[in-house]
Structure 1
Amino acid sequence: MFDLVYDTIFFASYGNIYGIGNITIGPFDILMAYIVAIVVSIIVALVLRIPLLPGKPYRYSFDVSALYPTPIIAMGIFSIFLVLNYTFIYNGIVLAAVIGILSALFVKYLFDFVFPKPLDENGGEDSNE
């Protein structure tokens, strides 16, 4: 049986399709870089005064928060860089910190512009209250 966690962690460290990828980092470095991206994005989001949790009720809330979607965006963008086999310096730690900062800024200032909230069911207006 295959080990999904092993394959997932090592996926970014494989060489690219053309064989010119000379940057390989280990699974511990990848894991540390993901943790740095998550922690930095949450801390910067809290510094920017994004709430830790969305408004109630949580299930139907379209408010942004420091826990969602900020670290999810940081992990996704960092994954793209890892798949492209680009880690910058210090085995991706600096790149992860920069992506964490940029993802928090994106969520604070551009998220509602790029992903608008759905229309209100009753009045047809935006649900900004």
Structure 2
Amino acid sequence: MFNLIDTTLFFASYGNIANITNITISPMDIALAYIVTIIVSIVVAYALRIPLLPSKPYRYSFDVSAIYPTPIIAMGIFSIFLVLNYTFMYNGLVLAIVIGILSALFVKYLFDFVFPKHLSEDEGDVIDE
């Protein structure tokens, strides 16, 4: 994961070397935008009444929570925009806030539809005989 962040910082901050775009952003601005994305996604997810932590036992829980899938999804989507050299305005802070809100909404309403939970061995289709 740190390699992805390092690569994103490199491509976003030095994307103007070959005069590809007119956007240049410093690594500190990118780190600040990542932090804003993480905080906004967790706060909005918690405001949408997503539990802060998954149910116990934590290791085997596939429940969504505000801590685990929400900021990871937000960081991934924000990384895609940074690699494409699109930061919108205020060095990516507005984009970070929008992506944080949208990722929390995605986890709340669409996550179980896109990524369905697995069935355990005891659960499954019941065949009536």
- TM-score where L is the length of structure 2: 0.87
* Residue aligned with 2:59, SS: coil
Unaligned regions of 5+ residues in structure 2, if any?
none
Paired position in structure 2 for 1:52? 52
1:118 aligns with 2:121: no
Amino acid at match of 2:93: I
For the Cα contact (< 8 Å) 1:25–1:91, is it kept in 2? yes
- State the secondary structure of the residue aligned to 1:123: coil
Q: Which has the higher helix share?
A: 2
* Partner-residue secondary structure (3-state), 2:61: coil
1:90-111 CA-to-partner distances (Å, cap 9, x unmatched) read 0000000000000000000000
Report the Cα distance in structure 2 between the residues aligned to 1:6 and 1:99, rounded to whole angstroms.
17
Q: Percent identity?
A: 79
Name the amino acid aligned to 2:40.
V
Find the counterpart in structure 2 of residue 105 from structure 1: 105
Structure-1 residue corresponding to 2:88: 88
Rounded to whole Å, the distance in 2 between the matches of 1:69 and 1:5 is 17
Aligned length: 122
Unpaired runs of at least 5, structure 1: none
- 1:7 Cα deviation after fit: 4.3
- The runs of at least 4 aligned residues of structure 1 exceeding 3 Å deviation read 4-8
TM-score relative to the length of structure 1? 0.87
